[in-house]
Amino acid sequence: MAFNFILVIAITLIIAFFLSKFLFKGKTKNLPKGSLGYPLIGETFSFLRAQKQDRGPEWLEERTSKHGPVFKTSLMGSPTVVVVGQAGNKFVLGAEDDVLAAKQPVTLVAIAGKQNIFELTGSRYRLVKGAMVSFLKPESLQNYIKQMDELTKTMLLRETENKDTIKTVVTMKKLTFNIASSILFGIKDEHTKEVLFDDFSLAFKAVWSLPVNFPGTVYWRGLRARSRIVSRILPILKERREEISKGTLSATSNVFSCLLALRDENEQPISDDLILDNYVTLMVASHDTSAILLSLMIWKLSTDPEIYKKVLEEQMDILRKRVEGAEDRLTWAEIQKMKYTWRVAQELMRIIPPVFGSFRKALKDTEYGGYDIPKGWQVFWVSHGTHMNKEIFEKPTEFDPSRFENPSKPIPPYAYIPFGGGLHTCIGNEFARVEVLPTIHNLVTMFEWSQVYPDEIITRQPMPYPSMGLPIKIKPRKL
């Protein structure tokens, strides 16, 4: 019986392979060089394995050295054209939505939802993006600096209470999830946040997995986690909608209220499904990428005494210059003074970008670099091709925050892209900054720490993290 099942699977894969060859034959004149890999699976396993070992750049270089900066492969169940370099970044990130749309892999669509902002186009995209931007712009975020400072202090004290060692990655994920839940969505209940945190952890792992919905798989667990998230958020949406109608909640209080107050071109409210999909998307985008950056910054400060000394000096100087009798809370003006600390973050994102690359989908036949890209294929851009290019960044392998202070030559567009670029610049880039800086401020001014494993390496899963979770020995700073 088992042999028959394996035989059926093998025959199906072989038929699918030859059928795909037949279907694509003749439809395009000049596909890029490269390999589509195994039937259905493509090169997904080798790509994910390279990511886990933080060998993504080597995986790319093996193929670009053989095929050039444009090559074909198959990733996450879809044929894919990979473009490497500044021109490729500009082609993808600057393309109009009717040519290349932010159609993500099936795994991300399943977890985030079909109406997440990356999938929307036209008027619906502009409507949802406008609501989010109205809350995420600097003028709005500066009103939440004191609250963010207080949340960060409280979380750090709670997570370090009666402990001399903490796991940095887990702590930073909890902290950023708490901040995003409280400030972006106004979710205050601690139990609700804890349960949602556990489910989001499962859901995020499923985003970069094979779309095999079989009991026990990562993808299966992620889908079930998303269902639980939706069930828990629906009553909150109902409650917020009632508060808005009664006038007890402002339409600008948080992202939920902004979305609930939206009206489409027919003056109809947008659906709960659309709000839920964008809640899941924004939570994944807002808390996990910031947790990565914070973990990497703590790792860097642990291993580089000179960088640590300069960051500590800048943050202590902010405390020293506070007017006597002033409230013991960070202000927007103080955040703007953290210039060196942010340059350290910028340099970390150059050398170890939180997002290795991102997918878009061809909505019609197009071409790039003299090659055809068929309608329906994915296009994948990567940050490595420009971030480590010595013609763009002098001595690119050296860690040098000053390159963002007064660069000898301006960084060209689409070359430094930790937050995307052009039409597709991340709308949460300012939120990331004002989330990271208060956390680092409180951490270095309140505590001293050292790594448990000084030789700990970075791995991608799929985001870059210290491989052992970065346990640190931590103690209160003596002022």
Q: Which residues are annotated as a binding site for heme?
A: 426
Exposure of 330 in the CB half-sphere (CA atoms within 13 A):
32
Place of tokens 């960044």: 393
**DSSP string of 92-116, one letter each residue:** HHTS-TTTEE----HHHHHHH-TTS
In this structure, what token pair is assigned to residue 247? 């006038």
Contact 263, 269 (CB under 8 A): yes
Q: Is 451 helix (H, G, I), strand (E, B) or coil?
A: strand
CB atoms within 10 A of CB 216: 8
Contact by Cβ (8 Å): 128, 117: yes
Angstrom distance (rounded) from CA 153 to CA 288: 19
SS3 222: helix
Which DSSP state fits 252? T
Q: How many residues does the chain have?
A: 479
Residues belonging to the binding site are 426
**To 10 degrees, what angle do helices 145-160 and 168-179 make?**
150
Choose among 41, 47, 34, 39: nearest CA to 17. Answer: 39
CA distance 282 to 285: 5
239 Cβ contact partners less than 8 Å away, ≥ 6 residues apart = none
Whole-Å CA distances, 394 to 89, 263, 410, 421, 465: 20, 49, 12, 21, 26
C-alpha to C-alpha distance for 405 and 403, rounded to whole angstroms: 6
HSE-up (13 A, CA, CB side) for residue 364? 5
DSSP character for 183? Answer: I
Q: Cα 169–204–235 angle (5° rounding)?
A: 110
Rounded Cα distance, 372 and 263, in Å: 40
Pull the structure tokens for residue 13. Answer: 């894969």
- The count of C-alpha atoms lying within 13 angstroms of the C-alpha of 135, restricted to the half-sphere facing its C-beta, is 21
Strand partners, 71: 82
Which whole-number Å values give the CA distances from 260 to 89, 128, 145, in the listed order? Answer: 35, 11, 24
The Cα 381–Cα 54 span in angstroms is 17
